[in-house]
Chains A and B, each alone.
Chain A
Amino acid sequence: MSRPLTSAEHLARLVPGSVLATRAATRRSFLRATALTGAAVATPALLAGCGGDSGGGGGGGVSFGSNEIGDIVAEQRQAMAAGFTEASGTAVELNEVDHNTFQENINTYLQGNPDDVFSWFAGDRMRFFADQGLIGDVSSIYPIQGIAESFQEAATGNDGNQYFVPQAYYPWAVFYRKSVFAERGYAVPATYDELVALCQRMQADSLIPIAFGDADGWPAMGTFDMLNMRINGFDFHIELMQGEASWDSPEVRSVFDTWRELLPYHQPDALGRTWQEAAQTLQQRTSGMYVLGTFINEQFPDDEDDLDFFTFPEIDPAIGADAIDAPIDGFCMAADPSDEEAALAFLEYLASPEAAAAAGTTGLPIIPANSEADTSKLSALQQKSVELVSQAKSIAQFLDRDTRPDVASTVILPSLQEFIRNPDGVDSLVKDIESQARSIFEQG
């Protein structure tokens, strides 16, 4: 099933899993989703293992809290846990919790009796808990062979120590169908002007140039990130996310101004459309491009081979196009694990090429954060993702992972929707965002 990407989406999963599965399903993927849901329902034994209070493996083992259940990611984690036990002889007690439940209860989970090792996200969502002393310092296992510096940075807390071990990632880019581009003779745009020219050509060919659906609120964050990093650069993105730069600034205004120029090429009425519905238009060849993460492939079950992407084109030559969003998933250690040595060994294993290989035995490999992992089994799309990320100079985590989660979900998300609804009200919009964001940053 779809991999939840943002806190906003996790919130959306308050809806029972069965409903969401069908809701996410479109005509094509309906049966697939139903089958998967059926599988999840049919494994109550796994559900019985839920609950964050079963931490403390005891007997020298490691307890491992995973926020995936009943899907391919859960299978990958089971395979990795088994792989570690095989390699080290240490038992791993896997506690799988439904993603949405895990997300909502993370505060109480961490303050209660968390598992020794648990799945989490890089960037600010990790730093927040590191600042509160709720997760353990794992800097003793760093540097990890094969983990690039940019990944290590994303795993580093505000105090300079590492609190996270990266394992997999999925970049955001502009997706298109190779066959559509070949048929119509479109070329991949390298600059903003080329992008606009391509959009105009697509419109003339009665295609929707850029598919867009923002009912869930977070997809627009991806577009904002891309424009912001192309116009103002990666450093400004980080300053803005950290509350050091103002939203009520010429930089942010120019992002919205550029976006306003591009909006006519976006699919209209985006606010009532889910990203799956928007992806379907790309799938059905009624739209030409789509700015999204690589998880878009789940809407292309039969013809993923035709799917390709390019990085968002350069807007300002002085800034370039070498910053991308590539959220990293990985693992943290509890602040007070029952057996720290075993927990650290397990974390080190999770970041290793061996763990990536174990995950690959499930049939769907991860895109490994470890550069030494064997990538020969990856799909073409995954191979290209690896290439994109390795060429990127700066890697952002995504808006709602680089800023405070409360700012992202309660301020930015509705504000970006407001912009899409009324693109001409930028002046009061940025003032509103800044004043709300300020009130949160000052209190926290």
Chain B
Amino acid sequence: MAYETPVATTAPDAPRDGAPGPGAAARRTKRPGSGHRLGPTDRLAVIAMVVVPTVLVIGLVWLPAVASVVLSFTSWNGIGPLEADDWIGLENYRNVTTNYPPFWPAVQNNLLWLAFTFLVPTLLGILLAVLLDKELKGSRIYQTALYLPVVLSLALVGFIWQLIYSRDQGLLNEVLGTQVDWYGDQSVNIWAVLVASAWRHTGYIMLIYLAGLKGVDGSLREAAAMDGSGEVSTFFRVVLPVMRPINLVVLVIVVIESLRAFDIVWVVNRGTNGLELIATLVTQNVVGEASRIGFGSALATFMLIISSVFIALYLRVVMKEER
């Protein structure tokens, strides 16, 4: 397969017989591209279309990522050039894993975030989308109400929930008559924040799914109904498989949203006291004065590794699909 280039096939063929036989001619016309060659302008356009995005992706994504990994082996503070004695090998990784108490809670919280986001808001969003797809009375209003939180930035969501969760002046304690320190008590604050983030995420998933459901061919459902399939089994056996691309997109969104979870926790207490996330630890170490760029890069590398696992899984599924 790799040798089926035009050069490889024509070279032994043409010069041996003085006049090429009909078979050779037929083969030549079948060759892709030889019939309508690209003009120089088109060729340039194709090259530009390939080269420009490649350069951008390499320059803006891959180089910084690699640089970040490289910096994780240094004690660079972000000022001046890298010097020889900045190289400290695996020291940062050793410190991150053994001499940095917030790290393991952060990993745990990120994974919890992932599991929770998948189990609660995603499934709830799908359920709501299915219900709204039924064209209930006032479905527009429900749709708008449920989607509204998505328009708000997570930082604003954090603030809104602060009014609800505040221990002394908050709505929730007022209504329940309790004195729970929702944002301060380590045993509840991560759940409090997860609920706030789910409040926003549900509407997002709902909208994506709703759009997908609208795209499902109505005749499929009719056919299923004719065959005596009930609502539930139609959904699981017909609609859900048809929506496979949407399901994949939703899955990817869940993973991305969970790994980059940051803003809401940052608003609450900047990712300390039980709300540690890898992203907040990276920011704490890298942003601002006297930065621990090397240490923060080591943390970021952990994040890169975790994301890579999911990216690899996703690519595997997508590639399989294409084949």
Contacting pair A444 B75 (CB below 8 A): yes
Q: Are A19 and B159 in contact (CB under 8 A)?
A: yes
Residues of A within 8 A of B75 (CB): 443-444
Whether A104 is near chain B, meaning CB under 8 Å from some CB there, is: yes
Segment of A60-68, A268-276, A301-309, A373-381 in the binding face: A268-276
Interfacial chain B residues near A280, Cβ < 8 Å: 168-169
A417 to B294 CA separation, bound complex (whole angstroms): 25
**How would you classify the secondary structure of chain A's contact residues: helix, strand, loop or mixed?**
helix
Asked if B306 is an interface residue, CB under 8 A from chain A, the answer is no
- What 0/1 pattern do residues 263 to 289 of B give for CB contact below 8 A with A? 000111110110000000001110111
CA distance A10 to B288 in the complex (A): 9
Q: Tell which of A167-175, A250-258, A349-357, A433-441 binds the partner.
A: A433-441
- Chain B contact residues: helix, strand, loop or mixed: loop
Expressed in whole angstroms, the minimum distance between the Cβ of B184 and any Cβ of chain A is 2
Residues of chain B whose beta carbon lies under 8 Å from any beta carbon of chain A: 75, 77-80, 88, 91, 95, 99-102, 153, 155-156, 158-159, 162, 165-169, 179, 181-186, 189, 266-270, 272-273, 283-285, 287-292, 294
Q: Is the CB of B77 within 8 A of A444?
A: yes
Q: Which residues of B contact A15 (CB under 8 A)?
A: 155, 158-159, 266-267
Binds B, one of A41-49, A150-158, A322-330, A406-414: A406-414
Q: Do residues B272 and A16 form an inter-chain contact, with CB atoms below 8 A?
A: no
- What is the CA–CA distance of A134 and B77 in the complex, to the nearest angstrom? 13
Interface centre among B95, B182, B270, B284 (most CB of A within 10 A): B270
- The residue that B100 contacts in the complex, of A12, A281, A421, A436, with Cβ under 8 A, is A436
Question: Shortest CB–CB separation between residue B243 and chain A, in angstroms?
Answer: 36
User: Contact: B101 with A125, CB < 8 Å?
Assistant: no
Chain B contacts for A98, CB-based, 8 A: none
Cβ-defined contact, A435 with B289, below 8 A: no
List residues of A whose CB falls within 8 A of some B CB.
7-8, 10-12, 14-16, 19, 22-23, 26-27, 103-104, 106-107, 111, 125, 128-129, 132, 134, 215-217, 269-273, 277, 280-281, 404-406, 409-410, 413-414, 417-418, 421, 432, 435-436, 439-440, 443-444
A271 and B181 form a contact (CB under 8 A):
yes
A103 / chain B contacts, CB cutoff of 8 Å = 288-289
Taking a contact as CB atoms under 8 Å apart, the answer to whether A414 and B78 are in contact is: no
B168 touches A277 (CB 8 A): yes
Known: A215-B184, A277-B169, A404-B290. A439 touches B266 (CB 8 A): no
Give the distance in Å from the alpha carbon of A10 to the alpha carbon of B283 in the complex.
Answer: 12
CB distance from A431 to the nearest CB of B (A): 11
Q: What CA separation (Å) do A415 and B159 show in the bound complex?
A: 25
- Of the residues B95, B153, B184, B283, contact of A272 by C-beta under 8 Å: B184
Q: Is the CB of B285 within 8 A of A273?
A: no
CB contacts (< 8 Å) of B182 on chain A: these are 272
Residues of B within 8 Å of A111, CB to CB, are 79-80
Residues on A with C-beta less than 8 A from B100 are 436
Which residue of B is nearest A444, CB measured?
B77
Query: Can you add 13 more A-B contacts, CB < 8 Å, to A128-B290, A217-B272, A418-B273?
Result: A15-B267, A16-B155, A19-B159, A107-B291, A128-B289, A269-B184, A272-B167, A272-B185, A273-B168, A406-B285, A410-B285, A421-B186, A436-B95
A231: min CB distance to chain B, Å: 25
Would A414 and B273 count as touching, CB distance under 8 A?
Answer: yes
Looking at the assembled complex, report how far the CB atom of A315 sits from the nearest CB atom of chain B, in whole angstroms: 28
Given A125-B289, A281-B168, A8:B159 Cβ within 8 A: no
B314, chain A: closest CB distance, angstroms: 29
Bound-complex Cα distance A130 to B267 (A): 32
Cβ distance B84 to chain A, nearest Cβ, rounded Å: 14
Contacting pair A271 B269 (CB below 8 A): yes
Report yes or no: A405 in contact with B288, Cβ–Cβ below 8 A.
yes
Contacts of A8 in B (CB 8 A): 270
A8–B288 alpha-carbon span in the complex (Å): 10
Give the 6 A-B residue pairs with the shortest CB-CB distance, closest first.
Answer: A272-B184, A271-B184, A269-B181, A272-B183, A443-B75, A272-B181
Complex alpha-carbon distance, A278 and B305, angstroms: 41
User: In the assembled complex, which residues on chain B have CB atoms less than 8 Å from the CB atom of A215?
Assistant: 183-184, 268-269
Residues of B within 8 A of A22 (CB): 159
A436 touches B266 (CB 8 A): no
Contact across chains for B159 and A410 when beta carbons are under 8 A apart: no
A-B contacts, 28 of them at CB < 8 A, read A10-B288, A11-B270, A11-B283, A12-B270, A14-B287, A19-B153, A23-B162, A103-B288, A107-B291, A128-B290, A215-B268, A215-B269, A216-B270, A269-B179, A269-B181, A271-B181, A272-B165, A272-B181, A272-B182, A406-B292, A409-B284, A410-B284, A413-B272, A414-B101, A414-B273, A436-B100, A439-B95, A440-B292
